[in-house]
Structure 1
Amino acid sequence: MTADPQRPAPGTRMTFRWRKWDGSPHWRHDCYYLGSDDWGDWFGQPAGSHSSRPGRDVVIDHPDVTLLPPSGDYALTMNAPPHSTRVYIDIAWDVRWSEEGEPTGIDMDLDVVDHAHRGVYIDDRDEWDEHRAAYGYPLDIVERLEKLAVDLERRVTAHEAPFDAATAAHWFGVLAALPREPEVPAVDHARPFVGLRPTPPAC
Structure 2
Amino acid sequence: MDGTRHEGGLALRGGETVAIRFSKWDASPHWAYDGCYLGADEFGHWVRVPVGARIARPGQAFDNEHESVVCLPVETGHVITTNAAPHKIRHYVDVTTAPMWRRVEGVATVAMVDLDLDVVERRTGRTYIDDEDEFADHQVLFGYPPELVTAAEARAHRMLRLVESGAEPFATVAEEWLRRAVAGA
Answer whether TM exceeds 0.5 for this pair.
yes
Runs of 4+ in 1 over 4 A off after TM superposition: none
Equivalent residue for 1:160? 167
In the alignment, is the contact (CA less than 8 A) between 2:10 and 2:103 conserved in 1? no
Alpha carbons 2:18, 2:47 under 8 Å: kept:
no
C-alpha distance 172-145 of structure 1, shift in aligned 2 (>3 A):
same
Q: Does 1:176 align with 2:182?
A: yes
Tell me if 1:149 matches 2:156.
yes
The answer to whether the 8 Å contact 1:68/1:96 transfers is no
Kindly report which structure 2 residues correspond to 1:12-27, keeping only aligned pairs within 5 A, or say none: 12-27=16-31
Pair 1:112-2:119 in alignment:
yes
Q: Contact between 1:110 and 1:125, CA under 8 Å: does it hold in 2?
A: yes
Kept in 1, the 8 Å contact 2:120–2:127? The answer is yes
| Contact 1:25–1:54 under 8 Å retained in 2 | yes
SS at match of 2:98: strand
CA displacement 1:146-195 (0-9 Å, x = unmatched): 0111111011001100112x21232123322446xxxxxxxxxxxxxxxx
Rounded Cα–Cα distance in structure 2 between residues aligned with 1:3 and 1:9 = 7
Q: Are 1:84 and 2:85 an aligned pair?
A: no
46-55 vs 110-119, which moves further? 110-119
Q: CA deviation at 1:3?
A: 4.1
| Unaligned runs of at least 5 residues, structure 1 | 180-203
The answer to whether structure 1 residue 126 and structure 2 residue 137 are counterparts is: no
Q: 1:139 aligns with which of 129, 146, 163?
A: 146
Instruction: Quote the offset at 1:118 in angstroms.
Output: 6.6
> Percent identity, aligned pairs only?
34
Corresponding position of 1:28: 32
For 1:173 and 1:104, locate their aligned partners in 2 and report how far apart those are by CA, in whole Å.
Answer: 26
How many aligned positions are there? Answer: 177
1:143 partner amino acid: T
Secondary structure of the residue that 2:173 maps to in structure 1?
Answer: helix
Other structure's SS at 2:128 match: strand
In the alignment, what sits opposite 2:49?
A: 45
Output the amino acid matched with 2:37. Y
**Structure 2: which 5+ runs fail to align?**
none
- Structure 1 residue 64, shift from structure 2 partner: 0.5
